[in-house]
Amino acid sequence: MKKVLLFLLVMLSLSAFAAEGDGVQFFEGSFRQALAKAKKEKKLIMFDAYTSWCGPCKVLKTKVFPNKELGDYINAHYVSIGVDMEAGEGPALANMYPLEGYPTIMFMDASGRVKKKVLGLPQGGAKELLGIAKGVKN
């Protein structure tokens, strides 16, 4: 019985680990550090400006960003960062990048210049966001 439980725990751990690679991987660090990483890796920035109370922001995190195809493309070409615009460095970034609502996804170059803004939850989900990301990159 103990061996069966151990086996099940190992399998659950492995499946959870495998799932971590799917979807958009967000940089854990400051905006300034994300810019430096993007410059070093010759990538663009995908900046997810959200708030903790925003319903569409939560849908973006749970339904759009986990998409494997979107994640594969974004992770290869962008450094992604998500910032709660009402906490930490968020208010200062909101002064630098005024927003009309949440969520707002900004595609930027490695110097922080905005190339494209997407206001609200993309109606076409991950597929629409992937098309936008590819258009900005090209």
CATH classification for the domain delimited by 23-137, as one of 3.50.50.60, 3.40.30.10, 3.30.70.20, 3.90.1570.10: 3.40.30.10
Return the domain boundaries, the chain.
Answer: 23-137
What is the Cβ-side half-sphere exposure of residue 20, based on CA atoms within 13 angstroms? 6
| φ, ψ dihedrals at 35, nearest 5° | -60, -45
Residue keyed to tokens 């992770």: 75
pLDDT band of residue 29 (cuts 50, 70, 90) is very high
pLDDT tier at 21 (50, 70, 90 boundaries)?
Answer: low
Please name the amino acid found at residue 73.
Y
Distance separating alpha carbons of residues 109 and 95, to the nearest angstrom: 18
Q: Is 105 helix (H, G, I), strand (E, B) or coil?
A: strand
CA–CA dist 125, 62 (Å, integer): 11
pLDDT tens, position by position, 35-85: 999 999 999 999 999 999 999 999 999 999 999 999 999 999 999 999 999
58-72, pLDDT tens digit by residue? 999 999 999 999 999
